[in-house]
Each structure stands twice: as structure tokens, then as C-alpha cells.
């Protein structure tokens, strides 16, 4: 770690996006995490994704719970809105915020402890409801902040830094998300930004519950031989099923692919996800097949990464609730309280 603020000087060729911001403008405070923490790479990937999509920082709300991962929203998107909730309660605060103002981009950042242990009840219901959000789990398999106990995502048989073997079955966040109806499910690795950045961009453009499980090695407590979430292990067992290229509606498509190599998924906002297949048989629009594939590979000790499932026709909570198009927090008293006559009418309809 470092305590010096990152110098404001930057490379002379550093480009501006269409809003006139450089990538550096999307950074936050200097990280206080351990040197080499995978979470910092994920922060850098979020910075890159938001810069490349020219997201207006003031249109983003970052929400997190408690833990190393939940500290990270302080380290990116400094000018955005932020809310550090109670441990494990980020999903419900996010849901509430989303209901109040549907116009913001909701970025939930959590860890395996925050989402898979104390907050698992919140995690599953936010997904079930289809809250429109980007939910990133920075998954390192240990409680880093309390010095390296196994978390609920630690694989059975994996060994702690002290040499203890984990005997509990792991919670598979990707499996849960698929089963609970998430409409954009991906898994990434903090050590591979070329894969991770497009996955985040796709999730930002997605209008539904987008879950990204990012394996993020804990350098201090879970990067040793015997760990299944170390840099070395993940690199050796990474089964990347596809490579995503995120195409905004404005961009001209110039690359040619041989037929069968490419799946193109158009999303609501006109953006498209171009998936270069690495695993030819894999179909990311088939939820059941995705679940089967992920579980099969997992049983074989492999870690499936890439865009696992996407439903371009996703619906979100607001659609289900039939809320008005205008954010609820923009409705004034006259709209919210239309008067006795309207109330009488409603009451009459119920008699």
C-alpha cells in the first residue's frame, strides 16, 4: 500500500472521452488495501469501463457493505454518489435507492463475506426482483480483513495460509445468480483486465440484474499453494468460454469473423455484445445449459470465466411494478397526493 496521493501528472498522450474527461478523472482516493490486492485491479477495470463508456460520474451511485471489497468504492469514481451500508445490507439499500431514482446507474460492490455469508439473504432477493444494477462481487475466498479465515466461497479441500483444509461446501455465486434469474451473469478474474473491462461495460449497458463474480486473489492471505483463488491457480485453471467485445451503438463494426465464431447480442439501448467463442459449443442465451456447463467444469476443478448468460430482453423491477417512467424522487406533492376526489374514485372502485 501507499499513503501518498497519486500525482496528478499524467501521460501526455492520455486521451479524453466524449465528455472531455480523461481516465484519471474517474479515479478515486488512493487505495489503502494491501499491495497487490486483486480488488485494486477491479477498481482500475471499473475506472476504465466507465471512462470508455463516457459515463457521467454524477449519474452513478456506488453502494457497498463491509469488508475489503466494500472499501473499494472510495478508490474509484471519486465524483460519484456513494453509500457504505451496514454489513451485508447493500442490496436492500441499493434496491431502495433504485426505486426512488431509477435514472441513476447503480453499482453494487461487495465481497464474498458481505454477499455470500452475512448478506446472502439480501443478495438472492435483489437478484430475484431483477433490480437494475451492476453487482460486482470481489471474491477472494477468505476474510482478509480478519486475517484469512475461509469464507463461504472457499472451495472444499482448499488449504488456508496456516495449513488448515476447508471442509465446508462452497457457495457458488454464479450458480446462484443463474438459478435466481439474473439476466446478465459473468465471471472474471482480476488478473485479466482485457476480459474484465468488456464484461463490466456489458453489465453497465444491461437493463436488468447484472452479476459479475470476479475472482480476486488476496495477496496477504490467499495466494499460496493449496489455495484455489491464487493468481497461479486461477491462471492454470481458467476456462474462458468467450471473449466479449462491447460495441456502443455509435461504433462502426469493422472486424470480420468466420461464421460460427461469433455471437452477436443486441441490447435494449442499441449497444451490442459481440462474443468471440472460445468454447464452440457454449451458448450464453441458454440458462439451463449455462448452469450445467459451469457445474460440470467446476466439478473438474476448472474455473469458467466469460459472459456465462445474458438475456437481452431482460425486465427489471420497475417494469414488474409498473412504476412511472419519471424517477419517484422527482414527483412532487401534487402528483403524489392528487386530492380527495381521486381518493374517492379509488375507494369507489374498491367497493
Partner 1 sequence: MQPTDIRNPAYFHKVVDCQWACPAHTPVPEYIRLIAAGRYSDAYMVNWQANVFPGILGRTCDRPCEPACRRSRVEESTGNKPEPVAICRLKRVAADLKDDVQARLPKPAARWNGKRVACVGAGPSSLTVARDLAPLGYRVTVFEADAKPGGFMRTQVPRFRLPEEVIDEETGYILGLGVEFVAGRRIDSLKALLAEQFDAIFIGCGAPRGRDLDLPGRQEAAAQIHVGIDWLASVYFGHISQVGKRVIVLGGGNTAMDCCRSAKRLGGDEVKVIVRSGFDEMKASPWEKEDAMHEGIPILDCRVPKAFLHENGRLVGMTFEKVRVEHGADGRRKLVPTGEPDERHDCDEVLIAVGQENAFPWIERDIGISFDPKWDMPVVDQTTMQSSLPHVLFGGDAAFGPKNIIWAVAHGHEAALSIELLLGGADTHARPLPAVEVMSQKMGIHEWSYDNNISPDLRYRVPWADPAKTLKSMSLEVELGFDAETAWKEAQRCLNCDVQTVFSDHLCIECDACVDICPMDCITFTVNAEEGELRMQLTAPALNTEQALYVSGPVKTGRVMVKDEDVCLHCGLCAERCPTGAWDMQKYLIELSHAGDAKPDARQEAA
* Beta carbon of residue 45, minimum distance to partner 1 (angstroms, whole number): 9
**Calpha distance 85→93 (Å, rounded):** 7
For partner 1, which residue of 35, 54, 86, 100 counts as binding (CB under 8 A)?
35
User: Interface mask (CB under 8 A) for partner 1, residues 139-178, using x and -?
Assistant: ----------------------------------------
* Beta carbon of residue 43, minimum distance to partner 1 (angstroms, whole number): 8
* Beta carbon of residue 313, minimum distance to partner 1 (angstroms, whole number): 36
* Beta carbon of residue 51, minimum distance to partner 1 (angstroms, whole number): 13
Single out the segment in contact with partner 1 by CB under 8 A; choices: 148-156, 229-237, 255-263, 338-346: 229-237
Burial of 262 by CB count in 10 Å (0-12 exposed, 13-18 middle, 19+ buried)? middle
Single out the segment in contact with partner 1 by CB under 8 A; choices: 34-42, 139-147, 259-267, 292-300: 34-42
Closest by Cα among 75, 100, 77, 73 to 85? 73
Single out the segment in contact with partner 1 by CB under 8 A; choices: 120-128, 136-144, 219-227, 279-287: 219-227
- Tell me whether residue 198 or residue 284 sits nearer to partner 1 (CB atom): 198
Single out the segment in contact with partner 1 by CB under 8 A; choices: 33-41, 57-65, 99-107, 174-182: 33-41
Three cell numbers, residue 146: 480478519
Question: Does the protein bind partner 1 through residue 9 (CB under 8 A)?
Answer: yes
- Tell me whether residue 34 or residue 124 sits nearer to partner 1 (CB atom): 34
For partner 1, which residue of 148, 217, 284, 306 counts as binding (CB under 8 A)?
217
Three cell numbers, residue 222: 490467499
CA 93 centroid distance within chain: 16
Contact 285, 309 (CB under 8 A): yes
For partner 1, which residue of 14, 253, 288, 324 counts as binding (CB under 8 A)?
14
Question: Does the protein bind partner 1 through residue 219 (CB under 8 A)?
Answer: yes
Question: Does the protein bind partner 1 through residue 41 (CB under 8 A)?
Answer: yes
Angle between helices 193-205 and 38-52 (to 10 degrees): 50
Three cell numbers, residue 247: 460495441
**Calpha distance 185→284 (Å, rounded):** 9
Contact positions toward partner 1, by CB under 8 A? 1-4, 6-14, 24, 34-38, 40-41, 43-44, 190-191, 193, 217, 219-220, 223, 231-232, 235
Amino acid at each position: 500500500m501507499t499513503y501518498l496521493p497519486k500525482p496528478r501528472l499524467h501521460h501526455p498522450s492520455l486521451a479524453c472521452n466524449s465528455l472531455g474527461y480523461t481516465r484519471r478523472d474517474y479515479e478515486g482516493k488512493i487505495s489503502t488495501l494491501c499491495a497487490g490486492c486483486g480488488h485494486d485491479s477491479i477498481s482500475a477495470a471499473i475506472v476504465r469501463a466507465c471512462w470508455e463508456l463516457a459515463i457521467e460520474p454524477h449519474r452513478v451511485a456506488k453502494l457497498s457493505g463491509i469488508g475489503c471489497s466494500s472499501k473499494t468504492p472510495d478508490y474509484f469514481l471519486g465524483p460519484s454518489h456513494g453509500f457504505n451500508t451496514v454489513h451485508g445490507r447493500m442490496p436492500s439499500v441499493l434496491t431502495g435507492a433504485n426505486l426512488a431514482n431509477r435514472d441513476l446507474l447503480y453499482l453494487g460492490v461487495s465481497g464474498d463475506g458481505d454477499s455470500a455469508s452475512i448478506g446472502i439473504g439480501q443478495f438472492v432477493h435483489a437478484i430475484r426482483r431483477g433490480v437494475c444494477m451492476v453487482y460486482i462481487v470481489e471474491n477472494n475466498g477468505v476474510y482478509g480483513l480478519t486475517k484469512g479465515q475461509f469464507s463461504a466461497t472457499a472451495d472444499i479441500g482448499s488449504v488456508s495460509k496456516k495449513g488448515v483444509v476447508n471442509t465446508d461446501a462452497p457457495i457458488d455465486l454464479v450458480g446462484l445468480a443463474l438459478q435466481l434469474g439474473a439476466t446478465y451473469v459473468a465471471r472474471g478474474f482480476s488478473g485479466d483486465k482485457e476480459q474484465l473491462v468488456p464484461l463490466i461495460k456489458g453489465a453497465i449497458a444491461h437493463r436488468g440484474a447484472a452479476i459479475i463474480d470476479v475472482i480476486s486473489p488476496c495477496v496477504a492471505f490467499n495466494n499460496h499453494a493449496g489455495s484455489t483463488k491464487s493468481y497461479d491457480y486461477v491462471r492454470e485453471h481458467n476456462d474462458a468460454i468467450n471473449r466479449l467485445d462491447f460495441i456502443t451503438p455509435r461504433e462502426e463494426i469493422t472486424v470480420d469473423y468466420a461464421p460460427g465464431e461469433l455471437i452477436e447480442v443486441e441490447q435494449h439501448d442499441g449497444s451490442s455484445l459481440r462474443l468471440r467463442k472460445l468454447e464452440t459449443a457454449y451458448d450464453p442465451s441458454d440458462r439451463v445449459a449455462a448452469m450445467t456447463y459451469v457445474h460440470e467444469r467446476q466439478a473438474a476443478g476448472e474455473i469458467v470465466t466469460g459472459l456465462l448468460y445474458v438475456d437481452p430482453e431482460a425486465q427489471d423491477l420497475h417494469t414488474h411494478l409498473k412504476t412511472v417512467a419519471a424517477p419517484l424522487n422527482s414527483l412532487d406533492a401534487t402528483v403524489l397526493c392528487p386530492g380527495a376526489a381521486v381518493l374517492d374514485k379509488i375507494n369507489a372502485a374498491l367497493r
